[in-house]
Amino acid sequence: MQNEYLIQLQALLFSEDESNLELALELVKSLEIEAWPLYSDLQKCSEFFNQQFKIAPNIKALLQYLHKNQGEITLAHRQINHLPSYLYALGSLVRSLNLNDNPHLSQLPECIAHFSELKNLSFDYTAIAELPQWLWELQHLETLRFKNSLVYAIPDDISRLSRLEILDVSNPIRSLLKISPALSKMNKLAVLHFSLNVDSKIQSIDTQLFNMPHLKVMYLSAPNFQNFPNPTQWASLEKLVLLHMQPPPNLAFTLAQLPKLKTLFIAHSQPFAPSILNGLPQLDYLHLSRQMIAFKTEILELLPNTHIDFSTFY
């Protein structure tokens, strides 16, 4: 009964209804001693947020802030090396967490495991090297980003994130990023970002990256990349973005294997033979680097029904 009572009390606390919130605050202070740890930890959360953002002088203000911001918490550029354990008390209120640009953060804070409704998690530019087991329990996660981190492997357990739609693993710092073949079975995973820094010593890409039959959007940047593996496992690809890389010699063959491709970006690259684009009448939109504008007439003739944009920006 006590656990059921606490669950109901928490539901009142996390309600957007002002009267429910007021009632819960009164109940948690006056009725059951078992509720005090939650109340005490929420007070600590309020103090933490007030210190970080100057916006939560009390519990009520904190909960109102989270509701107003749809559960989004941004702690980027805060010189954080950990998060206090009492943040667990925010539970299902947290929907989006941004920990980017905290270079001293070396592991994902365990309090995140309690954010049962978390949809978006980002920890770019951190010192995090391993993905904890509890991460795969966040069943509502839709976006996961950890570019420029020390993560060296995407394990099989990622397939347990059945709602994951967007994955950004750009610029891995440590050797070759090992990619689990389980990604190929994730039918909700639609968008993948993968890039190698221009100065990266990494020259090879795990071929599992090209074995994703459900993928719809691929962002790829690999300056020293030589050839695509057989791209037939990109059968569902609708948008391909190639940035900061010379188009590989077999790009024409690769594009011909993508029957659903509608949008193609080849930006910040050196000029290439327009014949690469031959046989792509299904394209709706083509974005090319401005260096290709010298071939504009020829490209227009190849793709008369495609909207073509020449720009220095992506």
> According to the model, what pLDDT value does residue 1 have?
40
> According to the model, what pLDDT value does residue 307 have?
95
User: Rounded CA gap, 78 and 101, in Å?
Assistant: 8
User: Rounded CA gap, 131 and 160, in Å?
Assistant: 13
Q: Residue 249 sits in which domain range?
A: 187-314
Residue where a domain terminates, one of 37, 68, 99 = 68
Q: How far apart, in Å, are the Cα atoms of 79 and each of 101, 167, 237?
A: 8, 25, 39
Nearest of 284, 295, 287, 294 to residue 311 by alpha carbon = 287
CATH code at position 309: 3.80.10.10
User: Rounded CA gap, 202 and 99, in Å?
Assistant: 26
- Is there a domain that residue 28 lies in? yes
Residues 6 or more apart in contact with residue 118 via CB below 8 angstroms: 94, 95, 96, 97, 112, 138, 140, 141
- Is there a domain that residue 103 lies in? no
> According to the model, what pLDDT value does residue 248 have?
85
> According to the model, what pLDDT value does residue 86 have?
94
- Is there a domain that residue 237 lies in? yes
The pTM (predicted TM-score) of the whole model is 0.89
- Is there a domain that residue 102 lies in? no
How many domains does the chain fold into? Answer: 2
- Is there a domain that residue 220 lies in? yes
Residue where a domain terminates, one of 68, 95, 127 = 68
- Is there a domain that residue 164 lies in? no
Report the chain (314 residues): mean pLDDT per 10 consecutive residues. Answer: 61 72 71 67 91 84 88 94 94 95 96 96 95 97 95 93 96 80 93 81 76 93 81 90 86 90 90 88 92 92 93 60
- Is there a domain that residue 199 lies in? yes
Residue where a domain terminates, one of 44, 68, 92 = 68
- Is there a domain that residue 127 lies in? no
Cβ proximity of 217 and 189 under 8 Å: no
